[in-house]
Amino acid sequence: MKQVNVDVAVIGGGTAGLGSYRAAKAHTDSVVMIEGGPYSTTCARVGCMPSKLLIAAAESVHQIEKAPKFGIHPQGEIVINGREVMERVKFERDRFVGFVLEGVDEIPAEDKISGYAKFLDDNTLQVDDHTIINAKRIVIATGSRPAYPAVWNELGDRLIINDDVFNWDDLPKSVAVFGPGVIGLELGQALHRLGVETKLFGLGGQVGPVTDPEVMAYANKAFNEEFYLDADVKVESMKRITTESGEDRVEIQFINKQGELETNIVEYVLAATGRRPNTDKLGLENTSIELDERGVPTAD
C-alpha cells in the first residue's frame, strides 16, 4: 500500500474539485486530487451545457412557429431531424468536455490519484486498495447523483436520467418526465418543442423552484398551455411492456385532470426527481464530522 503525505487532499475531480485543487495550489504545492470516475464536470458532460444546446434547438423551432404573428411566413412545413439535433448537441458537448480535459491534462500526474477514497479517520484516506493518504486538510467535492424510487429500476433501459438524454442518437417519439423541477421543466419543454410527445408529472404541486403561490399558479398555467403538466398526479401503475409489434415501452396509468383513469404508453420515463449527494460511501462515520439527518456534513 503506497503512503502519501500532503497538506491538502481533494476528493472529486469535477467543477468543485478542480476549483478547490487550483485554490489550494495557490498556497501550497502539496496537493492531490482523487477521482474514481471520468474527469470533467457535470456541467460540461451532462448538465448545463448540453441541456442549453438542446434548448437552443427547441427555441429555434419555437421562434419559427411564432413568426407568422409578426407577418413572417416560413415556406413549407417545419422538419425536425432528430438525428441532426442530437449530433450537434453531442459534438458541441464533446468540445466543451475537451476544454475541461485540457485543463486536467495540465495538472501534474503525481497530483492525480485514480480511485475511490474512504475516510479511515479525520486526516487519513484510503484510495481503493492501493494508496493511504495522510492530509492536514481534506476537501469533499464528490458531487451528486440522480435519485428516484428504487422500484423504477424494474423499467430497465426504458428508465433514463438527464445524463442519458445527451447520449441519444435520435429523438424518441414519446417521453414521460417525472419531476417538474428545473431539470424536468427545461428538458420536458425542449423535447416537446422538438416534436416529442411529452407529459410532465409531479407530486405535491410544486412547479420549478418557485415559492410564491401566485407565481407558481401562473407558471403552472403557462406551462400547461404548451404541454401536459400535472404537478400533483396520482399514478395507479407504471410498468414495462412489449407492444404487439415487439417494441419495449412503458405503460403508465394515472388519474387525469378530469378525474378519469388514463393510460399513456411512452418510449422512455425520464426521472428528474431530484439528486442526492455522493457522500454515502465515504466512510464519514469514521470521522468526527458532524452530519445532518441525510448523512451529509453540516455546513455553516
Domains of the chain: 146-275 (3.50.50.60)
pLDDT of residue 47: 81
Long-range contacts of 77-83, Cβ-Cβ distance < 8 Å, separation of 24 or more: 80/171, 80/194, 80/195, 82/170, 82/171, 82/194, 82/195, 83/169, 83/170
Torsion of CA 74, 79, 80, 82, to 10 degrees: -160
Cell of 236: 395507479
pLDDT of residue 273: 93
At 173 the pLDDT is 97
Alpha-carbon gap, residue 213 to 299, rounded angstroms? 29
Q: Which residues in the chain show pLDDT less than 70?
A: none
Integer Cα distance of 262 and 254 in angstroms: 5
* pLDDT score at 295: 84
- Residue 278: partners with Cβ closer than 8 Å, 6 or more residues away: 142, 143, 144, 145
pLDDT of residue 171: 97
Angstrom distances, CA of residue 205 to CA of 122, 201, 219, 270: 42, 9, 11, 18
**pLDDT number for residue 232:** 95
Give the per-residue pLDDT at 104.
87
Residue among 154, 167, 149, 189 nearest 276 (CA): 149
Closest CA to 47 of 216, 182, 180, 152: 182
